[in-house]
Copies of this chain bind each other. A is one copy, B any other.
Amino acid sequence: MGVPYFTGRHTQMAGLRNTHEELTSAAIDLFLANGYEETTADEIAEAAGVARRTFFRYFRAKEDAVLPDHEGCLARVRELLERNDSGESPFATLTRASHLVLALYAQDPAKAVRRYELMRRVESLREREIMMTGRYQRVFAEYLYRVDTRIGDSDEDDDRLRHDVTAAAMVAAHNHVLRQWIRDGGGGDVHARLDAALDLVEAAMRGWQGENATDQGELLVVVARPGTPVWRLAQSIQSAAGSS
């Protein structure tokens, strides 16, 4: 078998023992009780009533026994971004992808809180989590690069910078919301909070301009007397916006 790691395989009927689940909960229990480094893969396997080798068939590394199934989630995110069926904005699509990731935690708040407690004190787990967010960020940035090309004279490298920064900002907002939610004990509507945060990010990034940018926050006041033709208004607005 080529890729034996758990990504939805190992399908178990209801009622039968779910090795994956037993391994993760045994791992979290032992880690919380005896410490992370102090717990060996042997002990986890034994606690789950399974052989050591089996443990490493379900998880490619010790850390993965605690962390959520990012591999599978990343695959779903990629699929979502490649489908790209609706006519929504790139940012909106990435927002949906963010919710997909958030659901990975939100669907089991109690476990999320326990995991967080663990990650708070184990450096190695924090590192792994950071790595994963880096993966998402990269996928986001690449998606933007693919679909958010702009017509006109905009500099290509500047566009890529904007894509990288946007992806980083979105992931940071996601992580912020997730962390706050978990610290609050896992109550309330996380998804609504994520939407609010991403709205702020989108608003800020909408102000991203190339080198010939107009100043943010500038007020454009057009004074016209009644009876002025509308095209005249449009003309002066345009020229004012262009010559800042």
Interface residues of A (CB under 8 A from B): 127, 130-131, 133-134, 137, 157-158, 160-162, 164-165, 167-169, 171-173, 175-177, 180, 196-197, 200-201, 203-209, 211, 213, 215-217, 219-226, 233, 237
Which chain B residues lie closer than 8 Å to A221 at the CB level? Answer: 220-222, 233, 237
B127, B168, B196, B224: the one contacting A169 at CB < 8 Å is B168
CA gap between A211 and B193 in the complex, in Å = 12
30 residue pairs of the A-B complex, CB under 8 angstroms, read: A130-B130, A130-B131, A130-B134, A131-B131, A133-B134, A158-B200, A160-B176, A160-B180, A161-B173, A162-B200, A164-B176, A165-B173, A165-B176, A168-B171, A168-B172, A169-B169, A169-B172, A200-B213, A203-B213, A203-B215, A204-B208, A204-B216, A206-B217, A207-B207, A219-B220, A219-B237, A221-B233, A221-B237, A223-B223, A225-B226
Which chain B residues lie closer than 8 Å to A217 at the CB level? Answer: 206-207
CA gap between A210 and B98 in the complex, in Å = 21
Interface centre among A131, A171, A173, A226, by most B CB within 10 Å?
A: A131
Which chain B residues lie closer than 8 Å to A168 at the CB level? Answer: 168-169, 171-172
